[in-house]
Structure 1
Amino acid sequence: MRPEELQRLLQDPNFCEVAQLIDVRELDEIEIASIKGFKAYPLSQFGLWGPQISSDLDPSKDTYVLCHHGVRSLQAAQWLQTQGFRKLYNIAGGIHQYSLRADNSIRTY
């Protein structure tokens, strides 16, 4: 999904209620820059959250996955698909491209 599409969706006040937003960056990265509504599921801590992801999140809901440049989020989205998640959206270019193309108030790093 293009960053501009995500920004458009985020303009809807109900979007965060009906969608699941996952940020797989490290916590120190999230402290530098983040998008409101995204929950932290650091890929490096996969062993902690992976086994319980289907009880934490609803596989039938739209699920948006974000990282710094789109690589880790793609890995996470591919794995989520094996766990029964079907409505998955990887944010192309990650938060870096989101900042450059959709919302320059988000800090780049």
Structure 2
Amino acid sequence: MSEVMNATVAELPGSAVILDVREDYEWAAGHVDGAIHIPLEQLPERLDELDPDIDLYVICRTGGRSFRATTWLTQNGYSSFNVVGGMGAWFEADKPMISTDGETPRVL
């Protein structure tokens, strides 16, 4: 089994492709602009939406679901990094977020 690679919010390159594996309501409340949204349970059936030749930085609320997703992606030949601390860390680092529910972006 491959070891999961981690990255902190501060370590993310400016060109990072972020995969958000949170639920729809969490995504709507606040997410990284330009991120790909595939809820964790949909990942196996939507895998073809991801490019196996690029690094994916996987994020959730605190890091648990993204750890599971990163483990699974790595086992399936994808280059992926678990974003330590998830969207909570993103928010704490005062990184930009957008929402799609009409509210001020927030982390649920």
Q: Shared fold by TM > 0.5? A: yes
- Map 1:66-81 to 2 at 5 A: 66-81=59-74
Residue equivalent to 1:50: 44
What's the CA shift string for 1:61-109, capped at 9, x where partnerless? 1111010001100100100111111x21111000011110242765233
Q: Percent identity?
A: 31
Which of 1 and 2 has higher RCO (CA within 8 Å, sep 6+)?
2
User: Structure 1: where are the runs of 5+ without partners?
Assistant: none
3-state secondary structure, aligned to 2:92:
helix
Higher helix share: 1
User: Structure 2: where are the runs of 5+ without partners?
Assistant: 1-6, 98-104
Give runs of ≥4 in structure 1 deviating > 3 Å. none
* One of 73, 78, 81 as aligned partner of 1:89: 81
Tell me how many residue pairs correspond in the alignment: 95
- Map 1:28-43 to 2 at 5 A: 28-43=25-40
